[in-house]
A = this chain, B = another copy of it.
Amino acid sequence: MLDWVDGRPAQTLPIKDRGLAYGDGLFETIAVKDGRPRFLARHLARLFDGCARLAIPCDQALLRDELQAFCAALGDGVAKLILTRGDGQRGYAPAIPSTPRRILQGSVFPAYPPGNAEQGVRLFPCQTRLAEQPRLAGLKHLNRLEQVLARSEWQDGEHAEGLMRDLSGRVVEGVFSNLFLAKGGVLLTPELSRCGVAGVMRAELLEQAVQQGISVQERDIAYAELLDADEVFLCNSLYGIWPVRALGARDWPVGPLTRKLRDIIRDLDC
């Protein structure tokens, strides 16, 4: 597949890159259709926000142009963009100024079972909890050992995703998805100021729901409240929406709010 490092075809990077040494960087995983990155503005906004919060200098125009050129060359599939703080010497102190490194990796679009979006998925209740770190909450940074541990908890094909809670037991997200629930016609999703990744599809759905006149709340959600929900669904920018049909002994139908939003997202031209 297609791979670029700093704008040129390459499949390696220096071992002194701080992305390797410390996970000192950010990434975006972007659906590419007909040579165009989907939800480009949202992906770039999150990436630039991450750069600002981690003080990684970033040439926004260069990144945007390069990503678009990469996607045009890729055609259809998934573009993963990793932006690291660049090379480092020994020690945690960043070089001032840093010279960030841009890594683009192309892959084919994942072959998700069609039933995931139609009949919904079974959610695995992960034991691995998310730590609370407000300085990193919301960002899609390269420190992802919690997700690696959580995703290692199940190997069966029965569970398409895992539920992650924080150390206090609050519901936060899936391992590679955000999570919504509906209760009494209100759409709820965990607020992400302590931990979690503020996903691009989550942001799109929050906006779409408001446009549809659906009442939306971002707030803390207890596990009991999740179990008590009328509908539950997952989302990310690759697969759109997957209804959750089961978590342990609890099961749900594919509810009307879930279907409505799933179909809106499916028909979006962006």
Chain A contacts to B: CB under 8 angstroms = 3, 5, 10-24, 27, 29, 54-55, 78, 80, 82, 84-85, 89-94, 96, 103, 105, 107, 110, 128-129, 131-133, 135-136, 141-152, 155, 167, 175-176, 195
When A22-B145, A91-B151 are in contact, do A13 and B16 touch as well, CB less than 8 Å? no
* Number of copies of this protein chain within its complex: 2
Given contacts A23-B23, A131-B133, A132-B167, 19 further A-B contacts (CB under 8 A): A3-B15, A13-B15, A15-B82, A15-B103, A20-B84, A21-B82, A22-B23, A22-B147, A22-B148, A23-B143, A89-B107, A91-B110, A91-B151, A92-B147, A93-B151, A131-B131, A131-B195, A135-B149, A143-B143
Q: Is the CB of A145 within 8 A of B143?
A: yes
Q: How far is the CA of A171 from the CA of B22 in the complex (A)?
A: 22
- Neighbour of A145 across the interface among B10, B24, B103, B147, CB < 8 A: B24
- Neighbour of A135 across the interface among B13, B89, B128, B155, CB < 8 A: B128
- Neighbour of A94 across the interface among B10, B22, B146, B152, CB < 8 A: B152
